[in-house]
Amino acid sequence: MSVATNPRRYVISFIFIGVAVIMLLRLFFLQNFEPKYKILANDIAIYKKVVYPPRGVIRDRKGRTLLSNTPIYDLMITPRNVPKNFDTAEFCAALDIDKATYERILGKVLIRNIDVRQSPFIELLNEEQTARYQENAYKFPGFELVERNIRVYEKPIAGLMLGYIGEVSPEMLKKPRYQSYRQGDYTGLSGLELQYEEALRGQRGVHFLERDKFNRPRDPYKGGALDTLEVSGKQLDLYLDMELQEYAEKLMANKIGSVVAIDPRTGGILTMVSSPTFDPNLLRGKERARNYANLHKEATRPLFNRATQAMYPPGSTIKPFTGLVALNVGAITPDYGYGCRGSYGACSRSIACEHKDAGHAANFGLALAHSCNAYFCHLFRLTVDYRNFGSVKKGLQAWHDYYKSFAYGRQTGIDIPFEGKGLVPDSNLYNKMYRGSWNSCTIVFVGMGQGELLLTPLQMANGMCIIANKGYYYTPHFVKAIGKNENDTALRKYHEKHVVLNIPDETFEVVQQAMQDVVDHGTAAAAKIDGVTVCAKTGTAENKAIVNGEVIKMQNHSMFVAFAPRENPKIAIAVAIENAGFGATWAAPIASLIMEKYLKDSVTYKRKAVEDKMMNAKLINKYVYTIDSVIRLRDLRTYNARVARKRAADSTKKANDSILYHRWINYKMRTNNLKATNKRK
Amino acid sequence: MSDLKKTLFNRIDTPLLLMYLALVTVGILAIFSVEHRTTDTSLIMMNKSYMKQIIWLGYSLFIGFIIILTDSKFFSSFAFLLYTVCIIILIITIFAGVDVKGSRSWLGIGGFRFQPGEVAKIFTAMALAKFFSLNETNFKKLRDRLIAAAIALAPAVFILLQKETGLALVYMCFFLVMYREGLPSVILVLGFAAIALVLTSLLINRITLAILLTVFTILIGLLIRHTLKRRIAARVILISAWGFSLLFSQVAVPFVFKHVLQKHQIERIYSMIGIDVPDEYNKAIAPGEEKKEKTNSSEYNVLQSKIAIGSGGMFGKGFLNGTSTKNQFVPEQNTDFIFCAIGEQFGFLGSAGLIILYISMMLRILYLGERQRSDFTRVYAYCVASILFFHFAVNISMTIGLAPVIGITLPFISYGGSSLLAFSILIFILIRLDADRQVLIR
What b/e sequence results for A348-386 when a residue is b if at least 16 CB atoms lie within 10 Å of its CB, and e otherwise? eeebebebeeeebbbbbbbbbbbbbbbbbbbbbbbbbbb
Comparing B297 with A370, the larger pLDDT belongs to A370
Query: B146: pLDDT confidence band, cut at 50, 70 and 90?
Result: very high
Asked if A37 lies within 8 A of B311 by C-beta distance, the reply is yes
Are both B218 and B272 inside the same structural domain? yes
Question: How far does B369 lie from chain A, in Å, by closest CA?
Answer: 10
With contact defined as beta carbons under 8 Å apart, do B193 and B238 qualify?
A: no
Are both B71 and B176 inside the same structural domain? yes
Nearest Cβ partner of B355 from A20, A34, A222? A20
Give residue A129's identity as a one-letter amino acid code: Q
Whether A438 maps to a domain, the answer reads yes
Whether B442 maps to a domain, the answer reads no
Q: Which CATH number does the domain housing residue A311 bear?
A: 3.40.710.10
Asked if A30 lies within 8 A of B310 by C-beta distance, the reply is yes
Q: Which residues of A touch B172 (CB under 8 A)?
A: none
Q: Which of A5, A12, A14 to mutate to test the interface with B (most CBs of B within 10 A)?
A: A12
pLDDT of residue A490: 87
A546 shares contact with chain B (CB less than 8 Å): no
A8 shares contact with chain B (CB less than 8 Å): yes
Question: How far does B258 lie from chain A, in Å, by closest CA?
Answer: 30
Give yes or no for residue B287 having a pLDDT over 50. Answer: no
Q: What is the pLDDT of residues B388-421, one digit of tens each?
A: 999 999 999 989 888 778 778 999 999 988 899 9
What's the domain range around A104?
Answer: 50-238
Query: B271: pLDDT confidence band, cut at 50, 70 and 90?
Result: low
Nearest Cβ partner of B307 from A24, A27, A41? A41
Cis peptide leading into A569, omega within 30 of 0? no
Are both A376 and A227 inside the same structural domain? no
Are both B88 and B104 inside the same structural domain? yes
B355 shares contact with chain A (CB less than 8 Å): yes
Last residue of a domain, one of B295, B329, B361: B295
CB pairs under 8 A between A and B: 120
Q: Which of B307, B371, B388 to mutate to test the interface with A (most CBs of A within 10 A)?
A: B307
Whether A244 maps to a domain, the answer reads no
Question: How far does B247 lie from chain A, in Å, by closest CA?
Answer: 26
pLDDT of residue B297: 64
Are both B302 and B419 inside the same structural domain? yes
Whether B4 maps to a domain, the answer reads no
Asked if B370 lies within 8 A of A221 by C-beta distance, the reply is no
Nearest Cβ partner of A213 from B321, B327, B396? B327
Give yes or no for residue A177 having a pLDDT over 50. Answer: yes
Q: Which residues of B touch A6 (CB under 8 A)?
A: 180, 370
pLDDT of residue B323: 82
Are both A589 and A649 inside the same structural domain? no
Give yes or no for residue B432 having a pLDDT over 80. Answer: yes
Are both A466 and A439 inside the same structural domain? yes
Nearest Cβ partner of A27 from B179, B185, B400? B400
> What percent of chain B lies above the pLDDT cut of 90?
38
A211 shares contact with chain B (CB less than 8 Å): yes
What b/e sequence results for A247-280 when a residue is b if at least 16 CB atoms lie within 10 Å of its CB, and e otherwise? bbbebbbebbbbbbbbbbebbbbbbbbbbbbbeb
Whether B6 maps to a domain, the answer reads no
Give yes or no for residue A452 having a pLDDT over 80. Answer: yes
Are both A319 and A393 inside the same structural domain? yes
Q: Which of A10, A16, A216 to mutate to test the interface with B (most CBs of B within 10 A)?
A: A16
Are both A85 and A30 inside the same structural domain? no
Nearest Cβ partner of B352 from A15, A27, A222? A27
Q: Strand runs (DSSP E) across A137-248, as ranges?
A: 143-153, 165-167, 186-188, 205-211, 217-220, 236-238
Are both B323 and B249 inside the same structural domain? no
Are both B18 and B62 inside the same structural domain? yes
Cis peptide leading into A334, omega within 30 of 0? no
Are both B289 and B256 inside the same structural domain? yes
Query: A321: pLDDT confidence band, cut at 50, 70 and 90?
Result: very high
Nearest Cβ partner of A46 from B180, B323, B366? B323
Q: Which residues of A touch B309 (CB under 8 A)?
A: 27, 30-31, 37
A25 shares contact with chain B (CB less than 8 Å): no
pTM confidence score: 0.66
Q: What is the pLDDT of residues A642-669, one digit of tens each?
A: 999 998 888 888 777 777 777 777 777 7
Q: Which residues of A touch B347 (CB under 8 A)?
A: 31
A306-310, B280-284, B301-305: least confidently modelled range? B280-284
Whether A513 maps to a domain, the answer reads yes
Are both B69 and B96 inside the same structural domain? yes
Query: A303: pLDDT confidence band, cut at 50, 70 and 90?
Result: very high
Structurally, how many domains does chain A consist of? 4
Query: A549: pLDDT confidence band, cut at 50, 70 and 90?
Result: confident
Last residue of a domain, one of B295, B312, B336: B295
Q: Which residues of A touch B382 (CB under 8 A)?
A: 12
A225 shares contact with chain B (CB less than 8 Å): no
Nearest Cβ partner of A212 from B327, B366, B385? B327
Q: Which residues of B touch A22 (CB under 8 A)?
A: 402
Q: Which CATH number does the domain housing residue A177 bear?
A: 3.90.1310.10
Comparing B261 with A340, the larger pLDDT belongs to A340
Query: A342: pLDDT confidence band, cut at 50, 70 and 90?
Result: confident
Instruction: Name the average pLDDT for chain A.
Output: 87
Comparing A387 with B343, the larger pLDDT belongs to B343
Question: Chain B, 17-76: which have a CB under 8 Å from a chain A CB?
Answer: 37-38
Q: Which three-class secondary structure state does DSSP give residue A625?
A: helix
Give yes or no for residue A388 having a pLDDT over 50. Answer: yes
Comparing B109 with B349, the larger pLDDT belongs to B349
Give yes or no for residue B110 having a pLDDT over 80. Answer: no
Query: A675: pLDDT confidence band, cut at 50, 70 and 90?
Result: low
Query: B272: pLDDT confidence band, cut at 50, 70 and 90?
Result: low
Whether B5 maps to a domain, the answer reads no
Question: How far does A111 lie from chain B, in Å, by closest CA?
Answer: 20
Q: How far is it, in rounded angstroms, from Cα A408 to Cα A320?
A: 14
Give yes or no for residue B15 having a pLDDT over 90. Answer: yes
Q: What is the pLDDT of residues A114-166, one digit of tens each?
A: 666 677 788 778 878 888 888 887 778 778 887 777 889 999 999 999 999 98
Whether B222 maps to a domain, the answer reads yes
Question: How far does B422 lie from chain A, in Å, by closest CA?
Answer: 22
Nearest Cβ partner of B313 from A16, A38, A42? A38
Whether A12 maps to a domain, the answer reads yes
Give yes or no for residue B4 having a pLDDT over 60. Answer: no
Query: B290: pLDDT confidence band, cut at 50, 70 and 90?
Result: very low
Nearest Cβ partner of B311 from A6, A26, A38? A38
Give yes or no for residue B22 having a pLDDT over 90. Answer: yes
Whether B3 maps to a domain, the answer reads no
Q: What is the pLDDT of residues B155-179, one digit of tens each?
A: 999 998 888 878 888 998 999 999 8
Asked if A23 lies within 8 A of B402 by C-beta distance, the reply is yes
Are both A409 and A441 inside the same structural domain? yes
pLDDT of residue A5: 62
A89 shares contact with chain B (CB less than 8 Å): no
Are both B88 and B16 inside the same structural domain? yes
Whether A265 maps to a domain, the answer reads yes
Whether A657 maps to a domain, the answer reads yes
Comparing A548 with B413, the larger pLDDT belongs to B413
Q: What is the pLDDT of residues A178-190, one digit of tens each?
A: 888 887 788 999 9
Are both A16 and A141 inside the same structural domain? no
Distance of CA B50 to the CA centre of its chain: 22
Whether B388 maps to a domain, the answer reads yes
Are both B208 and B336 inside the same structural domain? no
Are both A341 and A453 inside the same structural domain? yes
Q: Which residues of B touch A209 (CB under 8 A)?
A: none
Whether A251 maps to a domain, the answer reads no
Q: How far is it, in rounded angstroms, from Cα A167 to Cα A146?
A: 17
Asked if B311 lies within 8 A of A40 by C-beta distance, the reply is yes
Are both A341 and A439 inside the same structural domain? yes
Are both A229 and A312 inside the same structural domain? no
Are both A111 and A205 inside the same structural domain? yes
Whether B1 maps to a domain, the answer reads no
What's the domain range around B326?
Answer: 12-36+45-183+298-435
Last residue of a domain, one of B251, B279, B295: B295
For B294-301, the CB contacts below 8 A with 24+ separation are: B295/B264, B295/B267, B295/B268, B295/B271, B296/B271, B297/B271, B297/B331, B298/B271, B298/B272, B298/B274, B298/B405, B299/B270, B299/B271, B299/B274, B299/B275, B300/B331, B301/B274, B301/B330, B301/B331, B301/B332, B301/B337, B301/B405
pLDDT of residue B264: 67
* Element (DSSP H or E) covering residue A89: helix A88-95
Q: What is the pLDDT of residues A208-261, one digit of tens each?
A: 888 776 666 677 887 777 788 888 899 999 999 999 999 999 999 999 999 999
| Integer CA distances (angstroms), A620 to A39, A252, A297, A558, A623, in order | 65, 11, 17, 12, 9
Asked if A41 lies within 8 A of B324 by C-beta distance, the reply is yes
Q: What is the pLDDT of residues B327-364, one digit of tens each?
A: 778 888 888 899 999 999 999 999 999 999 999 999 99
Whether A145 maps to a domain, the answer reads yes
Structurally, how many domains does chain B consist of? 2
Are both A627 and A512 inside the same structural domain? no
Question: How far does A180 lie from chain B, in Å, by closest CA?
Answer: 29
